[in-house]
Amino acid sequence: MKNVKVHKGFTLLEVMIALAVFAFAGTALLKVAGSTLMGVGHLEKTSIAQWVAANQLVEANLDQKSWPPKKASGKAEMAGREWHWRQTVIATEDKNMRAVQVEVRENEKDKNSLVSLITYVSNPRAQK
């Protein structure tokens, strides 16, 4: 009569391979989650910076007495943070129109802006 052994369960090698597979999969998931969170943070900053720039452009359009200053800068608080904006007025081919560009940075010394928006304003004196 033969002695037949019935094995139940996994061998040590099978367990080690399964753990390695789960470790690699877990690492990949954590990397993807981290990238997603960084993307969400950048999207939040960009959205708020666009609101700050849009507010400055609206102010430039509301002043109906004179052209906006050629260069201006300042700070604005939004969403509990301080944002730094720079406004530049650019001449256009039409002497009665000017382009107003606003750049917004998170820090005043940042080289690159988060957002840059442009609008056009008409000569306040030409409207009368």
The CA R_g of the chain, rounded to the nearest whole Å, is 30
How many whole angstroms separate alpha carbon 40 and alpha carbon 103? 21
Closest by CA to 110, choosing from 68, 40, 44, 49, is: 49
pLDDT digit string (tens) for 65-80?
A: 777 888 999 999 999 9
Which pLDDT value is given to residue 127? 59
Whole-number Å distance between alpha carbons of 91 and 94:
8
Other CB atoms within a 10 A radius of the CB of residue 122 amount to 14
Residue 3 lies in a domain: no
- The answer to whether residue 34 is domain-embedded is yes
How does pLDDT run across 86-121, given as a tens digit for each residue?
A: 999 999 999 889 999 999 999 888 899 999 999 998
**DSSP letter assigned to residue 17:** H
Domain span at 23: 12-122
- Answer whether 0.75 is exceeded by the pTM: no
β-pair partners for 71: 88
Q: What is the pLDDT of residue 118?
A: 95
Number of domains the chain contains: 1
Residue 77 lies inside a defined structural domain of this protein: yes
Does residue 1 form part of some domain?
no
Greater pLDDT, 123 or 120: 120
Residue 96 in domain: yes
What's 27's domain CATH number? 3.30.1300.30
* Residue 19 domain-assigned (yes or no): yes
8-40 pLDDT tens trace: 778 889 999 999 999 999 999 999 988 888 888
Q: What is the pLDDT of residue 8?
A: 76
pLDDT at residue 128 above 70?
no
Asked whether residue 102 is assigned to any structural domain, the reply reads: yes
On whether residue 6 sits in a domain, the answer given is no
